[in-house]
Amino acid sequence: MRAGEREAGEPEAQEAAEPDDSAGEAGPGLGSEAGPTLEAALEAILLVVDEPVAEVTLAQVLERPTHEVSAALRGLAAEYTAAGRGFDLREVAGGWRFYTRADCAPMVERFVRDGQQTRLTQAALETLAVVAYRQPVSRARVAAVRGVNSDGVMRTLVARGLVEEAGTDPESQAVLYRTSSYFLERLGLRDLSELPELAPFLPDDVENLEETTK
């Protein structure tokens, strides 16, 4: 029998091994190691945080380049928005955190409020606005702008974490105050530059008002 011929009924020998469908499949993992994907790892971490986490911090924890973490976060945020999920991923106060979507706010409020709602008083809102737009500012300065003593309200805002100390005035040695990162988080702002402009809400005689508060 010549080389290459086979007897009848003899199974044809395979010239090469059949390819293994499982070979070459990329297993889940960060990089080439087994484990969760970068997106899954980010989701897991952000589900348990109680304040926004910076991209640099996430990159250090996951041992990945910051630009990859940044791209993954923005990809997830876009994915949640496109899918119309009940939550979204926002960049606020220098970090990232999950929030319930605005469209779902009425249902969430009914669930967590149980018929009650804690609000800042009008005095607290006025004081917080003065601090936000005039910071760093002393209690005396806040009182001058509002025309009423604001010490008690300032203590309340500090206790709630919305306002914090920011050193002392070099001339009067009075304690200065500024808004905190928690303030940015609660308002959904990245930084103070995103505060709305005051001009539309100011009286026409704003210059005289400024003089009387100095």
DSSP 25: P
- The end-to-end CA distance of the chain, in Å, is 113
Asked whether the whole model's pTM tops 0.85, one would answer: no
In the beta sheet, which residues pair with residue 90?
97
pLDDT digits (tens, 9 = 90+) for 196-213: 887 665 555 444 544 444
In 10 A of CB 162, how many CB atoms?
22
**Residue at 42: amino acid letter:** L
pLDDT digits (tens, 9 = 90+) for 15-71: 444 444 443 343 334 554 578 999 999 999 999 988 899 999 999 999 999 999 999
Burial string for 11-35 (b: 16+ CB within 10 Å, else e) reads eeeeeeeeeeeeeeeeeeebeeeee
How wide is the angle at C-alpha 119 spanned by C-alphas 46 and 52, nearest 5°? Answer: 15
